[in-house]
Chains A and B, each alone.
Chain A
């Protein structure tokens, strides 16, 4: 079940909201937990049991950590982390690793495992690891009540696609929170913005991207490749940030304040800055639980660079079990290292050039992210960078774009941060929570619902029995 589906908007959300409101503060955690498990079971009717097992193991681990100390405590923590990593390692990476081992030895040394991937395992596993580490560090107390831990790990607004919430940032809200009408209104407004981003921009541009990629690459010339690259750049941003907006909005509607996950990343002037604005919760997770424990930047330049490479290797791998994701992660890691080594000083001299550089690196990186494999990614990049070699266009622009994609592009460019940069703060303050904004949001909501309904329309020219 995704937030932009009719079942979620018209069935799940109203029912859960009404029951949660009627149940009151005392029963709210139970209502939200059951709802979250049902939410997950809707998409994973059997893997919900896996998540429940993960919750129980992590809750017990937290309890034991809080009651031990010294080497035993550290051992329990290590076991807990290993169990979580084993879970994600098996379900997400077993096939990848076994294929890699066989390719190293150039024969079938191990049986290639093909395992179904539980939805959201990357997110809830990281949240679980965050819980036991925060308890170990004393940043949060272990919860005696398993419902609290279960709700933290499985809470439906952030279960499937984040933001990755650290336990210490939310534990007090789980124990005690209030919901005001203002929270519901502001939260729903945030949800509407996210829904509009996803349905009215990301999905429209996604159609363009999918159409281009459906054609053989030989049909794609320089212009098509760049349009597709730009479209994907905006598709992934509006899809992901839109989903985060919906998650944050939903959280607020139920009394939770999640941290921001995106901060206009395409306004960045360096890749270093980009990673402080893009998927912020993932970046801070890796910084707190991987980069800093490895030594961060406290052990000299070479060790810092190695730590950064490790973090971005893992960042790429976290996104998907494929070398194209790993290459994408290392690609970003390379530029961050270059910026640390001196490139940043150069970039600081010009706002415009630094932004062009950043967008160039980011857009090129997304090509690897979207392509089916590394080779295809390289072929697309070649078409983008060497137009003189690929100028036999059999693909025409009308085959993948129209007025609607043009409008989506315009709104995508304006909404990526340009509007917020040029509009004065006084006007922004007047707009926020004004009647004009409310009417605008209602219009976005109606258009989004219309688009969602339209996707369910499946007519036949002849009657289908």
Chain B
């Protein structure tokens, strides 16, 4: 028995340590183990006189990105953290009830803190944001176009009852609502913030409006948001609980928060994505589709509203695309990071929509279309 125990240890040394790189080289050759980290993995450095001092750090970074069986080991560790210890292995991800995941980071706004009533704007900040928005609006409107600002609500605000109570209690007045009310009451800006519509929708449909394992809304939440935007633009869409609207389960869905935990493949199945149909598609055609930051998505709907629309979006605008694109004769959707005045010249839209997610609404104080 003693020898058996020692033999097991010896074999584990040979397999796990001595032969791990060889075994991994074979396994990796036949499998697909792409990184889920949203970054370029470190490349192998070569030792030269110039990089002699930093070579060990560079090689360590490279090797850390290429440890044998890395993704399996990470999944194992993070699986144990999530299911056994009920803890998040990433400080930027909060685990809520029913495995709802939320985004929590000081480096990218403070989504949870915001919905708990922290970080309210000062009067000066509100005034500065208003001034900038008016300036951009005036620039667009001076060209004879319409301009609307659209703020897509954070998941943290719509599903704040799933956030652990230790983070505080949601308040009636929170940062973005404060901004929205200020802009409504003190300016004539056209601004849409479908917070109340989404909160109300939770009462009359049972399906999720946001993806549980992702920061984004699903196609139901996007429909409700798009409906609010289109209403501002004079187009009426059926309510989400209208008899004509059909909601069907869809296949895969994004899971960026599960990815942050290294558990996208395990937790991703708890995401609920849907297809929404039953509204008037106006026989739209999808002429071009690309949701990369540089790409453009173009719709044409000959028997829809005769106006053309340019939507300057972020990632929340992707799920809105079909709903908006089907309601206008021409619809152009571009990421606002790629904006230049050339786009206005090129597309010549009747309407310009600036879409931004709630946690980035601070950028309304600095964005420019001029």
Contacts and interface: CB of A to CB of B under 8 A. Distances in A.
Interface of A: 1, 5-7, 9-11, 13-14, 17-18, 42-43, 45-46, 181-182, 184-186, 188-189, 192, 396, 398, 402-404, 407, 432-439, 441-442, 445-447, 449-454, 456-465
B10 A449 contact: no
A460 B37 contact: yes
Contacts of A185: 6-7, 9-10, 13
9 contacts: A6-B63, A7-B63, A9-B17, A14-B20, A184-B13, A438-B9, A454-B89, A456-B74, A457-B89
Contact of A13 (B6, B17, B259): B17
A402 B39 contact: no
- Which size class do B's interface residues fall under? 35 or more
Nearest to A429: B2
Contacts of A42: 56
Nearest to A463: B38
Nearest to B17: A14
A198 to B, nearest CB: 15
Contacts of B1: 433-435
Contacts of B73: 449-450, 452-454
Contacts of A192: 9
A460 B64 contact: no
B325 interface: no
A435 B8 contact: yes
B113 interface: no
Interface string B36-56: 111110000000000011011
Nearest to A181: B10
Which 3 pairs, one residue from A and one from B, show the smallest C-beta to C-beta distance? A453-B73, A438-B8, A450-B77
Contacts of A450: 73-74, 76-77, 80
Contacts of A454: 73-74, 77-78, 89, 262
B87 A402 contact: yes
A188 B9 contact: yes
A404 B191 CA distance: 46
Interface of B: 1-2, 4-10, 12-13, 16-21, 36-40, 52-53, 55-56, 59-60, 63-65, 67-70, 73-74, 76-78, 80-81, 84-87, 89-90, 92, 103, 108, 166, 215, 256, 259-260, 262
Contacts of A434: 1-2, 5
A454 B20 CA distance: 17
B160 to A, nearest CB: 18
B8 A445 contact: no
Contacts of A188: 9-10, 12-13, 17
A459 B38 contact: yes
A453 B75 CA distance: 9
B2 A433 contact: yes
B78 A433 contact: no
Given A185-B13, A461-B92, 15 more contacts: A7-B59, A7-B64, A17-B17, A185-B10, A189-B9, A192-B9, A402-B85, A433-B2, A446-B76, A450-B76, A456-B65, A458-B37, A459-B36, A461-B215, A465-B40
Given A450-B74, A453-B67, A462 B38 contact: yes
A442 to B, nearest CB: 5
A450 B13 CA distance: 16
Contacts of B70: 453, 456
Contacts of A184: 10, 13
